[in-house]
Each structure stands twice: as structure tokens, then as C-alpha cells.
Structure 1
């Protein structure tokens, strides 16, 4: 503000953007402590009595512990597999100058244009006939198929900037192809790996549509699917639903607080690279 009117304008704009971003989250947290009647009457008012009944009910009804474990298993394994396969595929496409590699990269980039909604019906039909539905591991395989294109494209642009002389020096020292990749190339991919991990964690953890098509049994459902319990055809338990949403958001916030230094460092190094 000491820099004059320009600083004041930037401060006001930043404050407005902060309020716009934080308002939906604050509204969810506020209504998670209120009864359904109070939410319907005035969702913007403060609760007359702050109680945790909605959180207790939501935790028990959605079987939060089991849903959390399912979401954690699916997210961790999917992100790790996507990173491993995409980085190796991108390295192959960059370092081996085959004509086929340009075609493969073109197919991967073109596949990102097709929305998943266009594939839903044949996807469910084919996988249902093959008996591949209702399994966390088949869902992880699906995430690999849908996530490998973007990750490979991002790795491809990053690997092109890595000097090939580093790999040649490792070959001279007697390293194998896999050793060169894992001990020389992959550590240099840390900035873009962190960026891809962030994008995929947020996508897979919060995804509702794909798990709703694959996971049928209640024991396999993720947190977004379990949250849907509170929305029925004729009535909706808004208070419990808000509490369930807060419970679903908390793990992502903890993940960011634990990894914020690595996240910021990865984004900055990736932009400089």
C-alpha cells in the first residue's frame, strides 16, 4: 500500500479473489455444524448451536475409514504407476529416433482431446461383458490408461532439455539402460514428477464419475462415492453431506501442508526448466 494507488488496487483485487476462492469452502464448513432445517432456512447464517452430530453421523453412515483406505490405495497406486510408465515411455520416445515414435506421441496427444463422457457407454459395456468391473485394481488400470497421455506429454518436453552427455558418461562407466534411466535421468525429472503427482492426486482423489461406473460393491467405494449417500431422490441430508465433504477435503489439505515446500519448489524448478 506504500507504493501508491497501484499497490492499493492490487491489494484490493487480491483480497476480492481470496474471498471468492475461500467463500465456498467457508460456506460448506459453516453449514456442516447446522441442522438441515437451519440450512434450508438460511444457509448464510451462523449456527445457533455448534455441534458435531453431522460429523459423527457422516463418519458412520459413509463408513469413512473403509472409504478412506479405498481412496488411498487407488490414488497412491494409480499415481505411482502413471509416473513410472509415463516417464519410461517418454524417455523411449525422446531418445530413440524411430519414425513410429512420432506417431505414438501424436496418438497420445490426440487421445487427450476425446472426453471421457464420449467413452462411458462402450466402456461400461465392454468391461461389464469381460467381468472387469467392481475391482479397485481394474480401476487403477483404467486410471493408467486415461492418465498416461498427459503425463507422457509433459515428461517428453522435459526430457528433451536433459543433456545426452550425462547418459553417455554413465554408459562409459558401465551402467545399464535401466540404471542410466533410474539413477541419472529420473532424478532430474523431480520438478515435473512433483507437478504430475499433484495433478493426478487431485484428479483421482476427487473423481466421482469413473469409480461410479467401475466400483459397484459398497465395500469398494471411495470417499466421493460414499458422500453421495446423503443425496436421495426425495430428500437430501445437507448437514451430513457438508460434514462428509469436509471429511473428504481434510486429507487433501494435510497432503498439501506436508508437501507444500516440495510442491512450490517443484513448480518453480519446472517453470525455470
Structure 2
């Protein structure tokens, strides 16, 4: 029995290692090719650079208008994620504490809406927002919130089940209002779930290309993924600048994940296993 357990343990470690390497290999290729010239990339894409060049980074930084794209991506991501956290946490709190047929219906309705692909509704949605003159950053932020709330409510609702209603009753006896109970007691307890919601939605919104490409139609409001697309022309692709731009674009979201990763697994567990 012990030998069988040891074998299973090492088999899981081996499979996890192989899976991790398979996920990391494309990032490794992007990284090493960011130090190559275009000629070397086209001649040997998987090899180590024969001569390291750092010129790609300042050239890509300037060509893709990085500061403007970074600022737009940051504003849209922070606003979208921040409002998603606020609305989702408050909605999940009310849905769980009310515990009526209507709240149960809304909870399951949030789950059903996650099954609807964006591609199925993107044309009428863009038409409606265009008629309301709500495109570019404002419209993009509103749409991001709409597409992120369902999953976030689902995670918060699952985590809310582990928080006893006795806390609400005790605070209510002390004279705390419903808003004070939520912001001072409930929301701090939900910190791991909040971090999970931030990471999941932040990565999705920061890296999204399709929705911004449909909504943003004004110069100076392009996000980083849109700026990166400028390296892909009709007849030629500036691979050395495009790959370097990818590195510059993913660094902020990687730093976000590293800084919050210790809460990530705990938040996923609270928001899924307890549902």
C-alpha cells in the first residue's frame, strides 16, 4: 500500500511538472526571441540567441506608444475590477442573507449567464452602446463589469456561506447599520475571495483584445493589446518588436499575480468548494 501511494505521489509530481513546462515553454520562447533580430527569429525561432540585442525593448516601447496604451489599460482595468468587486460582493451578500425564492433565482440566473458566449451578443450589444454614445473607455468599462459580475457573484456567494449570520446579528445589536456590517465586518473576511476576483478579472480585462477592438474607435484610447496589433501588418510582421511588446505588456499582470498569489488558492476554495 505504501509503495502504491509513493508511486501515485511521484506520478502526480511528474505529470504536474510536464504540464507546467508545457505551459511555460511558449513564454520561454517569447522571452528568448525578444533578444533576437528579425532575421535570427525567422531562421531559428526555438534556439538561444547567438548575439543578444537590447535594442528591441526601447524600439518596441516607442513604436507601440506604450505609455498611452498602459495608461488606458490601467484605467479600464482598475475601474472595471474595482466596480466589479464592489457590486458583486454587495449583491452576493444580499442574495445570501435574504435567502428568498427571488434571491435563489437571481443566483442561478448568474450561473446561466456565464454559459452565454460574448460572440453571440457582441453585434447587438455594440450597436446599442454606439447609439447611446457609450463607446471607448466608458462603454468598455461598463461592458467589462457586465461580463465579470456573474462569475464574481458566484465566487462571493460560495464564500459567504462560510460566514455565520451570528456576526450580523451581533453587530446589529450593537447598533451597526447594514452597510457598516458589510464594509467593516463581512468584506474584510472575504479578502481571499476578493483577491481571486481581482486576479481572474484583472488578467481577463488586461489581456482582452476582441472587446476593445470593437468598442475603441478613438485615437489615444487604445489599450496595450490594440497597440500590439500595430506590429502585424498586411504584408509583413515585425516579430522582434511584437514579441518584445508582449513581454512589456504581460509584466504588470505577472507582478499583480505574484503579489497576490498567496490569497489566490484560498479564495478559489472558498468560492467554489462551499457552493
Aligned CA distance change for structure 1 residues 264 and 37 (closer, same or farther; 3 Å): same
Partner residue of 2:84?
82
Q: Which 10-residue stretch deviates more, 116-125 or 8-17?
A: 8-17
The superposition leaves residues 5-51 of structure 1 with CA deviations (integer Å, 9 ceiling, x where unpaired) of 66665554344233212210110011111122221122112222211
More divergent stretch after superposition (6-15 vs 208-217): 6-15
Q: For the residues of structure 2 that align with 1:45 and 1:246, how far apart are their CA atoms?
A: 18
Paired residues of 1:194 and 1:266 also in contact (CA < 8 A): yes
1:94-109 matched pairs, under 5 angstroms: 94-109=96-111
Aligned partner of 1:163 in structure 2 is 164
The corresponding residue for 2:148 is 147
Is contact 2:152-2:197 (8 Å) kept? yes
Distance 1:166 1:12 in 2: 45
Would you say the 8 A contact 1:191–1:270 is kept in 2? Answer: no
Q: In the alignment, is residue 40 of structure 1 matched against residue 42 of structure 2?
A: yes
The aligned residue for residue 257 of structure 2 is 256
CA distance in 2, matches of 1:5, 1:107: 44
SS at match of 1:137: helix
Question: Structure 1 CA distance, aligned partners of 2:235 and 2:273?
Answer: 53
The alignment status of 1:59 with 2:61, answered yes or no, reads yes
1:138-181, CA deviations, whole angstroms, 9 ceiling, x for partnerless residues?
A: 21111111111111111112212321111001010010110111
235-244 vs 260-269, greater mean Cα deviation: 260-269
Deviations 1:192-227 (A, max 9, x none): 111111111111111111111111223111111111
Q: Does 1:69 pair with 2:71?
A: yes
Query: Matches of 1:110 and 1:260 in 2, distance apart?
Result: 29
Q: CA RMSD in A?
A: 2.2
Secondary structure at 2:102 match in 1:
helix
Q: Describe how 1:70-219 pairs up with structure 2 within 5 A.
A: 70-134=72-136, 136-219=137-220
SS of corresponding position for 1:219 = coil
SS at structure 2 position matched to 1:220: coil
Normalized against structure 2, the TM-score is what?
0.90
> Is the counterpart of residue 241 in structure 1 residue 242 in structure 2?
yes
User: For the residues of structure 1 that align with 2:237 and 2:127, how far apart are their CA atoms?
Assistant: 31
Measure, in 1, the Cα distance between the counterparts of 2:11 and 2:163.
42
Within-5 A mapping of 1:15-30: 15-30=17-32
Contact 1:32-1:243 within 8 A present in 2 as well: yes
Q: Which runs of 5+ in 1 are unaligned?
A: none
Return the alpha-carbon distance in structure 1 between the equivalents of residues 159 and 54 of structure 2. Answer: 48
Deviation at 1:271, TM superposition (A): 7.4
Q: Which runs of 5+ in 2 are unaligned?
A: none
